[in-house]
Amino acid sequence: MYIENNLINKKIIMKISAVIVSRNDNYGGHLNERATYCLNSAIDTYDEVFYIDWNSPEHSLLYDIKDNINFKGNLKHIVISPEIASYLTNHNKEAQKCCEVLSRNMGLRRMENEWMVSTNIDIIAPKREELESAISKMNQNTFYTISRRATDWETILKYNNGEYNFQNWKNTRDYLIDNSEERHFKETVMDGDNYSIINCCGDFQIAHKNVWNEIRGFEEDLIYPGHADTNVQKKAVMHGFELKALYQPAFFHINHGTGGGGFLDTDKFGQRNPKYQDYYRAILGQNKTENLDTWGFSNTEIEYEIF
């Protein structure tokens, strides 16, 4: 009986991987500071982090901020230089600016752990125990998008500088939760569709490795900006998986002041910028991936270094 009870009460050990992509162009300002803060939170939360620097003009962002990163040996760094980006996009300069979404596949298809996260450099990762609690309730045949909350860099900076009398990060999170709103899932790609559950860039999507392996990550033809998160959700549905939107655990996207996101300037997200209709049509016309050996960029592999 003791052995049986001990087995029942034994904590299930889970392993979580994440892929993060950025470009060293100071997008929206304060990029080094934002990236340092968010990357440290990712290293603390995930067992494995693929950090992919895409098409940076001079060198990887990581080389600029590494002295302030708390490395734990779980960060795998891939550099896609402008020369490699040009080759991968067949020298299409417009595509070189945008298809960092496909570089996520280089991390996703090489991850070693059971649960796999797709996120970005402006996202503060949830605390480990919060994420584990959420995953313990997740279905292995469901593709999840977790709604982000927005916060401004000035708030984070004041916390870092000690201007707020917060004792620890938990106090900071409590403050942010009380003073920020969730992004609600209410936008659809076109009237009547049943697969788009996000109203803007999701920035945090998680599924069991079996789901990611089956759908083969983001679509190889998606080399221009526009609703990549919806794209990968549709792929999940087309392969027979369920979709679910979550609002917990709470995590935060640091605003960078570029706005828009493909929609008109409105909080309602019901009005669509006409120039983005081609992206909607492209998503609607997307076919199920038949080449199961392809994960974007035709399975191109680039060696990584471990920090």
**Tens digit of each residue's pLDDT (9 = 90 or more) over 35-86:** 998 999 999 999 999 999 999 999 999 999 999 999 999 999 999 999 999 9
Q: How confident is the model at residue 157 (pLDDT cuts 50, 70, 90)?
A: confident
- Among 24-38, 69-83, 197-211, 277-291, which range has the highest average pLDDT? 69-83
Cα 77-83-84 angle, rounded to 5 deg:
50
User: Considering the entire predicted model, what is its pTM?
Assistant: 0.84
Which tokens is 186 given? 């209410």
What average pLDDT does range 287-297 have in this prediction? 68
The whole-number pLDDT of residue 52 equals 96
E strand residue ranges, the chain: 16-22, 48-54, 75-80, 115-120, 123-124, 142-146, 149-151, 204-208, 242-246, 252-254, 305-306
In three-state secondary structure terms, 255 is: coil
What is the rounded average pLDDT for all residues in the chain?
78
